[in-house]
Structure 1
Amino acid sequence: MRTVSITEPFDHPALFYRDEQEYLAGTVPFVRDALDAGDPVAVAVPGPNLALIRDELGERAAEVHLLDMTRAGRNPGRIIPRVLRAFADSHPGRRARIIGEPIWAGRTEAEYPACVQHEALINLAFQGREATILCPYDTTRLDASVLADAYVTHPTVIESGTQADSSAYAPEALVARYNQPLSTPLGAVSMVYTAGTLPAVRQQATRWAADLGLGEHRLDDFELAVAELTTNSVVHAGGEGTLRIWAEDQHVICEVHDSGLLDDPLAGRRLPPREQRGGRGLLLVNVVADLVRVHSTPALGTTTHVYFHR
């Protein structure tokens, strides 16, 4: 495989593959080379692909941190803090080598904007950090628009064994392009909240979620997400906001809207220093939810949709 030289500490190539043979040819040597160099290696890909890599590695699979991305990365918003940075930061002073496949055939239309924003934000989250993250893309099952976005989010692309620079690389522009307005159905129940009504709103929202079919084992997570988002509104966005809840397909969705502006692209995806007080609200929401979508502009304020599978 011909490769371009790495001029930055962080390397983030996309791997385009057409079949199992190309998948293994692009991933397994990556893992073996890293292991031979003594670098820590993680593989976070969908279950069937994880099995392919594990089988091909044989006994050496025990040396690799293996994760099923359909579980660990169901919500794209938690992949950077809980998968990628969590692994890299657990090996300080060493180059982490990671295979991460956050976009696969079967991702929903609602999930995709969060997925592609995640891919773009990896570059910011790892800026200056010694790491390599290889992101596979199935060219036979993913739409052409998805592959076009991969050129925008990755500085280099590997295809048919050749790695080349991407002339379309512009991750910041793509984050802005997918900052899309979020719609609310007419049948959603709603309430306005202020500092004095936060406990009552949290309890009422949890009752509504239960009525809409959210399982008892998820209600605590749902209540935590509502509490964090509404508290953020009160503290950082003018002291009030509006909460709406509805069911859609297999999810209960909670919307929180306020007049504030969320201008930090890594909000909810960055692990704050241990000594820092606060700043973990949106991160906690990303951890417990199945999907988080955010739209924020100076004119319209911030709308957050949080999905919980029923």
Structure 2
Amino acid sequence: MGFRHEAFGYDGEEGFVARVTEFVRGGLAEDAAVLVVAPAQRLGPARKALGADADGVEFLDMLDVGHNPARIIPLWQDFLNRNAGRPCRGVGEPVHEGRGTAALVECHQHEVLLNVAFADTDWRLLCAYARPEPAPSRASHPWWDGASNPAFDARHRGCTLAQPLPEPFGPTALLRFDLDSVTGVREYVAGKARRHGLDADAVERLALAVHEVMVNSVDHGGGGGMLRLWAEDGDLVCEVRDEGVISDPLVGRRRPTLAQPRGRGMWMVNQLCDLAQVRSSPDFGTVVRLRIGETGTRQA
């Protein structure tokens, strides 16, 4: 069958539970491994409706494991690896009421990239959307409500890196960096993070993530780049821009192997930050925008 990436729209808790339990029980009937990843407030009712069948299902809170949407594809890959040789079914709800504007953008990027990451695999993934469904959801799912989706746009596969990010509002600090100034700029970012109210752990995570991205710019982006820093919706946002171009749309979304000599930087960044947005094109180079919330609470 190949990878069946399907979505459905639901009205209220009852609509979610009815469709998910039907899908899950269909998987259990064929001895499939089943993982449901959704906000905790919908996991409880789904588990209750499944009754004894819930014992054969794995449940994870999307607000925890998928706080940064770039972590969701590796989660599904780990699930498939754990259950190699068995039929597999998943239910995911990355787009939910707890997402901010920037995170919603990345959720739609994630949905497109699922079609790239799992193109050569054989399993079923059902994505839930509260009605009214956001417009981009229709274009990223080949199947909708059990039928072939005429709104699916296969041209978007892997093309998400070229979509520019909106410009920031309000005061923005700007610094240029090269190999000699990376350490000083990292310390500048750490100082700004402390003044923004981040706790010590969050300050260190942001500083380390920024350092990794700047080193990538030095190595692959022309020897240096430009850093911008600003506050937005309670988050501290740090953007690194350089002249390089990334060709892999799944950068940072594959778990590195122990034998892999390089390529761990963006993976690490996605584990450290609440949100990481990557855009790259010959027209504007590469932009990596990192966010950490002012509470400094790590969600992974």
Could you tell me how far 1:94 is from its partner in structure 2?
Answer: 2.4
After superposition, the CA RMSD in angstroms is 1.9
The separation in 2 between residues aligned to 1:217 and 1:273, in whole angstroms, is 26
In the TM superposition, what is the alpha-carbon distance from 1:275 to its structure 2 partner?
1.6
Aligned residues of 1:121 and 1:171 also touching (Cα < 8 A): no
Given the two structures, how large is their TM-score scaled by the length of structure 1?
0.88
Distance in 2 (CA, whole Å) between partners of 1:274 and 1:39 is 30
What residue in structure 1 maps to residue 266 of structure 2? 282
Contact 2:116 2:157 in 1 (8 A): no
Matches within 5 A, 1:26-65: 26-65=19-58
The sequence identity of aligned pairs, in percent, is 35
1:134 aligned partner? 126
Identify the range of structure 1 (257-266 vs 13-22) with the bigger mean alpha-carbon deviation.
13-22
Q: Offset at 1:38?
A: 2.1
2:102 match: secondary structure: coil
In structure 2, the residue matched to 1:3 is none
Name the SS of the counterpart of 1:128 in structure 2: coil
- Which blocks of at least 5 consecutive residues in structure 1 are unaligned? 1-7
Instruction: Show the counterpart of 2:141.
Output: 154
Contact 2:209–2:268, Cα closer than 8 Å, also in 1: yes
Q: Is the 8 A contact 2:115 2:157 kept in 1?
A: no
Query: In structure 2, how many angstroms separate the alpha carbons of the residues matched to 1:246 and 1:213?
Result: 13
Deviation at 1:183, TM superposition (A): 1.2
Give the conservation status (yes or no) of the 8 Å contact 2:256–2:267.
no
Query: Would the alpha carbon gap of residues 267 and 93 (structure 1) be closer, same or farther in structure 2, given more than 3 Å must change?
Result: same
- Using the TM superposition, name which of 268-277 and 283-292 deviates more: 268-277
Amino acid at match of 1:150: S
Residue 305 (1) aligns with residue 292 (2)? no
- Cα distance in 1 between the residues matched to 2:203 and 2:58: 31
TM-score by length of 2: 0.91
Q: Does 1:173 align with 2:156?
A: yes
Asked if structure 2 preserves the Cα contact closer than 8 Å seen for 1:117 and 1:174, the reply is no
Unaligned runs of 5+ in 2: 295-300
> Could you tell me how far 1:195 is from its partner in structure 2?
1.6
CA contact (8 A) 2:209 2:272 kept: yes
| CA displacement 1:219-251 (0-9 Å, x = unmatched) | 221122112111110111111011122222211
Stretch of structure 1 that moved more, 231-240 or 166-175: 166-175
Which of 83, 96, 107 aligns to 1:104? It is 96
Structure 2 vs 1, CA of residues 93 and 14 (structure 1 numbering), >3 Å: closer, same or farther? same
Aligned to 1:92: 84
Aligned residues between the structures: 293
Deviation string 1:142-164 (CA, Å, 9 cap, x unpaired) is 4xxx1x32221111100xxxx21
Partner of 2:116: 124
Q: Which moved more, 1:113-122 or 1:189-198?
A: 189-198
